[in-house]
Homo-oligomer: A and B are copies of this chain.
Amino acid sequence: MGSDYPPSLRCGLPGLILSLETAFILIFWFCFSNESGSTPKDLDIYPAFQDVNVVVILGFGFLLAFLKRYGFSSTGFYLLIAALGVQWAVLVEGFLFSSSAGKIKISLHSILKGSISVTAVLISAGALLGKANPIQLIWMAMVEVAAFSTSRWINVKFLKVEEHTSLMHVHIFGTYFGLAVSWWLYHSSLSERVEKERSNLISDLFSMLGALFVWMFWPSFNSVLIVDLMERRNAICNTYYAIAVSAVAAFALSSLSRRNGKIRMTYLNLVLKIHDTCGVHYMFGLPGLLGAIVNVILFIIIKWASLSSLGYLALIEVGSFMLTTAIGLGTGFITGFILTFKLWKTLPASKYFDDQAYWEFPHLASRF
Q: What residues of chain A have their CB less than 8 Å away from a CB belonging to chain B? A: 4, 6-14, 17-18, 20-21, 25, 36, 38, 40, 42-43, 46-48, 50-51, 53-54, 57-58, 61-62, 65, 68, 71-72, 75-76, 79-80, 83-84, 86-87, 106-108, 111, 198-202, 204-206, 208-209, 212-213, 215-217, 219-220, 229-230, 232-234, 236-237, 240-241, 243-245, 247-249, 251-253, 255-256, 258-266, 355, 358-363, 366-368
Contact = CB atoms under 8 A, between A and B. Distances in A.
A111 B58 contact: no
Given A10-B255, A38-B237, A202-B368, A21 B249 contact: yes
Most chain B CB neighbours (cut-off 10 Å) among A87, A209, A258 = A209
A7 to B, nearest CB: 7
B84 A233 contact: no
A75 B237 contact: no
Contacts of A265: 72, 76, 359-360
A229 B86 contact: no
A241 B87 contact: yes
6 contacts: A6-B261, A17-B249, A68-B366, A80-B251, A83-B243, A209-B209
Contacts of A53: 216
Contacts of A80: 247-248, 251
Contacts of A262: 4, 9, 358-360
A366 B368 contact: yes
Contacts of A20: 248
B25 A58 contact: no
Contacts of A201: 71-72, 355, 361, 363, 367-368
Nearest to A206: B205
B17 A215 contact: no
Contact of A200 (B111, B204, B232, B367): B367
B36 A233 contact: yes
Nearest to A10: B261
A212 B79 contact: yes
Q: For the complex, would chain A's binding face be called helix, strand, loop or mixed by DSSP majority?
A: helix
Contact of A198 (B8, B18, B244, B363): B363
A365 to B, nearest CB: 9
A235 to B, nearest CB: 10
A60 B208 CA distance: 13
A61 B212 contact: yes
B9 A248 contact: no
A167 B4 CA distance: 46
A57 B265 CA distance: 17
A360 B258 contact: yes
Most chain B CB neighbours (cut-off 10 Å) among A25, A229, A245 = A245
A93 B18 CA distance: 44
Nearest to A16: B252
A113 to B, nearest CB: 13
Contacts of A205: 65, 71-72, 75, 206
A314 to B, nearest CB: 22
Contacts of A264: 359-360, 362
B14 A58 contact: no
A220 B49 CA distance: 11
A299 to B, nearest CB: 16
